[in-house]
Structure 1
Amino acid sequence: MADPRTGPREFIQNLAARAVLGAALALPYRWRVPFAGWAVSRLVAPLAGYGRRVRANLAHACPDLPDPEVARLVRAVPANFGRALIEIYSGPAFAARVADEPVKGPGAKALEQAHAQGRPVLLVTGHFGNYDAPRAALIARGYRVGGLYNPMRNGYFNAHYVRAISRIGTPVFPRGRQGLADMIRFLRGGGMLGIVIDQYMRQGAPMTFFGKTAPTALSAAEMALKYDALVVPIYGIRRPDGLNFDIVAEAPIAHTDPETMTQALNDSLEAQVRAHMDQWLWIHRRWKPERQAAQRTRAAARI
């Protein structure tokens, strides 16, 4: 994993991000969340090129999507990203918002039993809705829930981002060697560990997502098999009011082999994304190898 960058460009980017976050945090919670969504969608996204990324990913994964829906998602996806980011930075206010939300779905009972038995649990989600809503809701119920995070490439931003996610609950573990030993110790001690599975992994296994090859880490399934951990897909699905969430725990993934289990997790996330297209981070470069190959093929055909 590359070291965080702390050059002049990163410094300026962090200043801009802090300005938006600071302006939003000055508002009451019920206003700051929609304001942050508007600011990211209307101000940040055009400058950062988010619209181009959303369109490219949709063209790759959902080529038959109608043009009006694509146009809607170009606005709605950054808006959800902005809402989720300011919710995470709202710390205790965000945690209080989801504290009384019931955990729904067939996995809820399994989580209760695992908590009572002290069995390790891997809570697997994606950059969908707000991925920290389930963690906050379970912590409020007295569950021991840690989080695995991928350090930001911008070192200035990463420092306050880690402080923000830590205010929702601890422990949090950086992906990579730095946090591995502590994370394994926590998991083997009967903790629940939240993991996002939808990040591009250069050395990942060639799983599919939306029918396209999407390199995916097998680590969640491998840890589950090694430490007899329950694997539960779980989601914080944003409600139409834009402020509240349904916390949905799906049935645990059966222990088989890492590839089969990981594909089942990808399929679970895909089903949720198809049901709520504007809540997944289509800004991600999720399918880089296949997209690049397709671009090379199109370029060769034009010669």
Structure 2
Amino acid sequence: MSRAGDLLTVAGFRLGWAVVRALPEGAAYGIFDRVADVTVRRGGTGVRRLRANYARVRPDLNDVELDALVRRGMRAYLRYYCEAFRLPAMSAADVDAKVTVAGEGPVRAVLAAGGPVVCFLGHLGNWDLAGAWCCRALGRVVTVAERLEPEAVFAEFLDFRTLLGMTILPLTGGGDVFAGLRREAVGPVVVPLLADRDLTGGGVEVVFCGQPARMAIGPAALALAVGAPLFPVTIRHTRRGRGWGIDIRFHDPVAVPAEGSTRERAHTMTQRCADALGAVVADDPSDWHMLQRVFMADLDPVSGLGEDR
């Protein structure tokens, strides 16, 4: 992207943060729904990939049903950005009103005992809103962010998440991210990591929604390295009056295999996380806004990575 294009992109994000948070909640969501619908009608790389991913997850759907699912999925994807633009202006009471939580008891017990917790997240619902709630309700939160282009947009999102109370490590360009996580994962801290897509080529093959896929092994490897429990976490959007909120579910911590190498044990734990996420996604994929390649059939057979052009 040219420097002029970079500046326009950054200006667009800043305008979004300034304008969208000033709109009435219902109006803001309505605008983003209309943008999502237009995006689906125009097609494009992201829409095609979302449709292809949904078709693998739900091969039972006919074309009309799949079209409807893509429309709901794109609305959920744009809803995330609507909420991201509005989050910095939300009060603590606003955050609490938008979030319901299930299964957090074991997480609170570990934190109360002075230990860290590692969470395996998918691209479900709104993980930034979930992170804001975690900072308020559970304590210190440390996570990793993919470095976006242009760099100034990444800086905007970094500042945004830091403002919410999170400590953010960049996935690339900031040194050894795994070593950084090990240093940070000491004492009562929550480490939520998006892991349903392998960004580095170092992930592992799992079965996800009945299909071979690649996911990041980092959460399981970190849990083993620091002796922390690993919790799969799923997030769903739910209606809240004229707007939306989220339901966060902490699933049972995955069992640690008694035998095998560290990588073998981490692989098994990653598969168990994929099972937990997969059951939720297969039930209703619309909150899984994955616009990139994750299934083995779509990835480069050598690198294990894939980009849509």
Give the TM-score, by structure 2 length.
0.82
Partner of 1:188: 186
Identical aligned residues as a percent: 25
Task: Return 10-19 or 119-128, whichever deviates more.
Answer: 10-19
CA contact under 8 A between 1:88 and 1:94: conserved in structure 2?
Answer: no
**By percentage of residues, which structure has more helix?**
1
Partner Cα separation in structure 2 for residue 120 and residue 6 of structure 1 = 43
Partner Cα separation in structure 1 for residue 40 and residue 92 of structure 2 = 26
CA contact under 8 A between 1:38 and 1:82: conserved in structure 2?
Answer: no
CA contact under 8 A between 2:144 and 2:169: conserved in structure 1?
Answer: yes
Task: Return 52-61 or 194-203, whichever deviates more.
Answer: 52-61
Task: Return 126-135 or 57-66, whichever deviates more.
Answer: 57-66
CA contact under 8 A between 1:77 and 1:281: conserved in structure 2?
Answer: yes
Letter of the structure 2 residue corresponding to residue 140 of structure 1: R
Partner Cα separation in structure 2 for residue 151 and residue 280 of structure 1 = 21
Partner of 1:126: 122
Letter of the structure 2 residue corresponding to residue 236 of structure 1: I
Partner Cα separation in structure 2 for residue 282 and residue 250 of structure 1 = 21
Offset of residue 273 of structure 1: 1.1
Q: 1:234-266: CA deviations, max 9, x gaps?
A: 233111445122221111111221111001111
Q: 1:200-232: CA deviations, max 9, x gaps?
A: 332321122222222222111111111111111
**What are the ranges of 5 or more consecutive residues in structure 2 without an aligned counterpart?**
258-264, 302-309
Partner Cα separation in structure 1 for residue 9 and residue 44 of structure 2 = 11
Offset of residue 147 of structure 1: 2.1
Letter of the structure 2 residue corresponding to residue 248 of structure 1: R
Partner Cα separation in structure 2 for residue 235 and residue 53 of structure 1 = 22
Partner Cα separation in structure 2 for residue 199 and residue 22 of structure 1 = 31
Partner of 1:298: none
Of 35, 38, 61, 2:31 maps to 35
Q: Secondary structure at the match of 2:174?
A: helix
Letter of the structure 2 residue corresponding to residue 99 of structure 1: D
Matched, 1:71 2:67: yes
Letter of the structure 1 residue corresponding to residue 94 of structure 2: R
Partner Cα separation in structure 2 for residue 213 and residue 8 of structure 1 = 41
Of 267, 270, 274, 2:278 maps to 270
Partner Cα separation in structure 1 for residue 91 and residue 288 of structure 2 = 19
Give the TM-score, by structure 1 length.
0.83
Cα 1:178–1:59 shift into 2, 3 Å = same
Q: 1:90-143: CA deviations, max 9, x gaps?
A: 2341764332544213xx111111111111101221111112233222222242
Partner Cα separation in structure 2 for residue 231 and residue 31 of structure 1 = 39
Partner Cα separation in structure 1 for residue 180 and residue 144 of structure 2 = 11
Partner of 2:247: 246
CA contact under 8 A between 2:209 and 2:282: conserved in structure 1?
Answer: no
Letter of the structure 1 residue corresponding to residue 190 of structure 2: M
Aligned length: 287
Letter of the structure 2 residue corresponding to residue 207 of structure 1: V
Give the 5 Å matches for 1:21-170: 22-43=18-39, 46=42, 48-92=44-88, 93=90, 96-99=93-96, 101-105=99-103, 108-170=104-166
Q: 1:50-73: CA deviations, max 9, x gaps?
A: 322222223344333222221112
Offset of residue 151 of structure 1: 1.3
Matched, 1:285 2:293: yes
Offset of residue 14 of structure 1: 4.3
CA contact under 8 A between 1:36 and 1:82: conserved in structure 2?
Answer: yes
Cα 1:69–1:13 shift into 2, 3 Å = farther
CA contact under 8 A between 2:195 and 2:218: conserved in structure 1?
Answer: no
Q: Secondary structure at the match of 1:171?
A: strand
Offset of residue 29 of structure 1: 3.1
Letter of the structure 1 residue corresponding to residue 195 of structure 2: I
CA contact under 8 A between 1:210 and 1:270: conserved in structure 2?
Answer: yes
Q: Secondary structure at the match of 1:99?
A: helix
Offset of residue 10 of structure 1: 4.1
